[in-house]
Amino acid sequence: MAKPPSSKDPKARAAWLRGELARHDRLYYVEQRPEITDRDYDGLYRELVDLEAAHPELRTSDSPTQRVGNELKGGFQSVDHKRPMLSLDNTYNEDELRHFDEETVKKRLEKAGVKEAPAYEVELKVDGAAISLWYEKGEFVRGLTRGNGVQGEDITANLRTIRAIPLRLNTGDPPAFIEFRGEVYLARSEFARINKAREEEGLETFANPRNAAAGNLKRKDPKVVAKIGLKFFTHMPGVFEGVEFETQSEYLKQAEAWGLPTVPHRTVCKDIGAVLKYIHEWDTKRRELDFDTDGMVIKVEQLELHTVLGTTSKSPRYAIAFKYKADEVETEVLEIDAKVGKTGVLTPRARFTPVQVAGTTVTYASLHNLSEVERKDIRIGDKVMIEKAGEIIPQVVRVLAEKRGKNVKKWQPPSECPSCGHKLEIRETVHKSKEEQRTVKVLHCANARCPGRYRERIIYFASRGCMDIEDLGEKLIDKLIAEGLVKDPADLYDLTVEKLANLERMAEKSAQNVVERIEASKKMDLAKLLAALNIPMVGARTAEVLAEHFETLEKLREASAEAIEEVEGVGPIVAENIAAFFADAVEKNLVDRLVSAGLNTKSLTAKKRKAAAAAGGAFAGKTFVLTGTLTKYTRDDAEKLIKDRGGKTAGSVSAKTDYVLAGEKAGSKLAKAQKLGVAVIDEAAFEKLLKE
C-alpha cells in the first residue's frame, strides 16, 4: 500500500482523505467487512474537516464533509422522472405467479418471436421508501422520491446524508449518466434505538421502520436526517447512457463495484419452480434479518427482454412481487374503551395482551365504530387473531369463538363522554366506497368545548397535512396539556424554549427544535391553515378552494353563507358551517389569536396560479373535468398540475368545460362530454399539454 501523503502537502492529503473515507464507506456499507473502528474513521473525518477549514479552496462537492447541508426553506421541488417509476403488480398466490410466468412472460415472448427461455432474478422485497438516484459523469447530482410515478420530489440534500449512497462512483471511467433505483430503509436495530431515544425525550415514537424512513426523508433539515441512520439498497437501473448491462445480475454486480449497496440474498432461477422453492426458503428466514421485508421480487433476468415485454399503464410486465401472507397472531382482548376525536365521534378501541406482530409490539387496535364491534361480536376476554393491515395498522381479523370462555363480557358503550362527561348520542352515518354504501352506528359527543376534542384538534392542527410542525407528536402534546401550557392550537405559539425545557425528559436542543418548527409553521399557505382549523365539513380540498377564491382569511371571515355558497364545489350546508364557525365567539377568539401570533393569512398559491393564468399557455383559463381511474397520477396530483398552470377543475361536465381527462372505467361524465362535443383527452394527451 502506498504511503499516505504528508500533511505538509494539503492538496494531496485532502484528496487522499476523501478517497480513504469513501473506501471505508464502501467496505462498511457494500462489502460489510470494515477495516477500521468508528473512532478511527471519525479521526480521518475530523482531519479532513480541519484541513478544508484551513484551506477552503480544497473543499469539493463530493467531499464527505459536504454530505449534510443547510435546512430547506420552503417545500420540496417536484421533478419529472426520466422514465416513469411504475409500481409492481402484487400476488399472494402461487397459481397467480405461475400464471405470470406462462401468460404474461412466456406467451408474450413467443408472440414476439423470442425463443430464448427467460430466467428469473429473485430478491428480497425491502420494505422501505422507493427513490431514484441520478449520477452524471460519476457524481451524485439528484435524488427523487417515487412520488406519483411520473414526478417525484427532489430530496437530494437528505439523500446526501446517507453514507451508504456514494457521492462519487468508485471508477475512473464513469458512464455519462446513470440512474439507480432502490429503497431507503431503516434497520430494525436502529428503529429500536431511535424510538427509545425519542421516548426518553418525550417525543412521539415512529410506528414502524418504513414510516420512519419515509417520514425522515421528507424532513426539511438534513442535519436531523443525518442522525437517523438511514440505509439504502439499489435493486434495478433506470435510465443510463454510456454503459450497457445484459442482465439484472450484471447490473447489480456493477453497482456494487461502483460502491452502491445491493439487495442481499438474491439468486437467479432457471424456471418458476426454482422461484417458488426460493420463496418458500425465505418465508421464515426473513424474520432473522435486521430489516423489514414483506415478500420477494421476481424479475426477468435478461434486460433486453424487459423492452420486449413492456409495461401496462400501471406496472411492468417483466416483474412481479410475491407478498407473504401477513402474520396473524393470537392474543386476548383485555379491555374495550372509546376515544373521542376532533369531530366528537368516539372510536372504540381494544387493548390486548401485548404481542409481537411483524416486528413491533401491538397493544391496541381500533375497532372503528359500534357496527364493527357488533358485526365481529368482539367481547372483553375473547381470544382473537390480529394482524397488521398492509404490514402497518393493527386490526382484529376474527374472534376465536371456539375458545370463548364463560367469563367473557359484552362491551357496553359508555353513555357519557370519557373526556368531558357530556351525554353521548348514537348517530347513523353513511360510509361510501366503490364497492358498497352502508350505514354504520357511531357514538358522538356534541359538546364542542370537549377537552378531548380539543386535544385531537391540536394533534390535527400540527399534523403534516396541516401546519406540519415536526416533532410535535401526541406524547408531547399530552405533556403540554397536562402541564397547562396548551389548551387549544393558538397556545402553541406562546411556547418558548424555556417552557419546553422544563418538561420532564425534554432536552434543551429538542425544545429548540420544536420552537423553531412552530415558528416556521407561521409561513404555511392559507389553505393549510383553513384545513387545520377543523371547520366542520372542510377538508384539505375545500380549504384549498376557499383559499383560492377569497385569497385572504379576512375576506373569508367577513363573507356571508350566501357568498361562500357561490364558491364552486361548496354546497349550502358546508357554507352555513363555515359562516357559523367564524361567527362562534370561541372560534373567533381562537382565530384572532392565531392572526395575532403572526400566521400567514394569504393564499400564496392563488397569487402563483393567477400569474400562470395571465401568462397564457395550454392550461390558462381552461376548465378540466377528471373522470375514471388515472394510472400515472393521483386525482389530487392531476388537479394540482392543472391549477398550477392557470387552469381550473370542475366536478361536472357542461358546455363551459374545455377538456375532460378520462381515465380507465370513465362513466357518465365521459358520455355527457361526448354528447356536448367537449374535447376528451387521455393521459398521453394530457402529458403533451403539460410539455407545451
Residue 200 has a pLDDT of: 65
Same-domain pairing of 139 and 216? yes
- Beta strands 623-627 and 659-662 are parallel
Neighbouring CB atoms inside 10 A of 119's CB total 20
In a domain, 4, yes or no: no
pLDDT of residue 628: 86
Q: Is the same domain home to 303 and 407?
A: no
What digits encode the pLDDT tens for the residues 114-165? 988 899 999 999 989 999 999 999 999 999 999 888 888 999 999 999 999 9
- 81 belongs to a structural domain: no
115 shares its domain with 256: yes
Q: Which residues pair with residue 355 across a beta bridge?
A: 362
Residue 465 inside a domain? The answer is yes
**How many CB atoms within 10 Å of residue 334?**
13
CATH code where residue 21 lies: 1.10.287.610
Domain final residue pick, 579, 596, 613: 596
Helix ranges restricted to H, 242-364 = 248-258, 272-285, 303-309
Q: In the listed set 537, 561, 596, which residue is the last one of a domain according to the structure? A: 596
* Statement to judge: residues 270 and 380 lie in one domain: no
In a domain, 251, yes or no: yes
Residue 620 DSSP symbol:
T
pLDDT of residue 130: 93
Q: How many CA within 13 A on the CB side of residue 646?
A: 15
| 339 and 298 share one domain | no
Q: pLDDT for 553-582, tens place per residue?
A: 999 999 999 999 998 878 898 999 999 999
312 and 332 belong to one structural domain = no
pTM of the predicted structure, to 2 decimals: 0.65
Does the residue 74 lie in any domain?
Answer: no
Q: What's the total number of domains in the chain?
A: 5
CATH at 496: 1.10.150.20
- Is 669 found in the same domain as 641? yes
* Same domain for 621 and 579: no
The three-point CA angle 588-556-546 to 5° equals 120
**In a shared domain, residues 515 and 557:** yes
Whether 147 and 279 map to the same domain: the answer is yes
The reply to whether 440 and 506 lie within a common domain is no
Sites in the chain below the pLDDT cut of 50: 434
Q: Are 195 and 110 in contact (CB under 8 A)?
A: no
Q: What span, in angstroms and rounded, lies between the C-alpha atoms of 429 and 671?
A: 32
Q: What is the pLDDT of residue 617?
A: 84
CB atoms within 10 A of CB 288: 7
Domain residues for the domain of 546 are: 451-596
- Retrieve residue 208's grid coordinates: 414502524
Tell me if 625 sits within 8 A of 657, measured CB to CB: yes
**Does residue 643 carry a catalytic annotation?**
no
Dist CA 85 CA 93 (whole Å): 25
CATH at residue 424: 2.40.50.140
Q: Which of 8, 82, 125, 665 is catalytic?
A: 125
Which triple of cell numbers denotes residue 498? 424555556
pLDDT, residue 57, reads: 87
Pairing of strands 319-323, 90-91: parallel
Query: Exposed (0-12), middle (13-18) or buried (19+): which is 615, by Cβ within 10 Å?
Result: exposed
Residue at a domain's end among 323, 356, 390: 323
Whether residues 261 and 400 share a domain: the answer is no
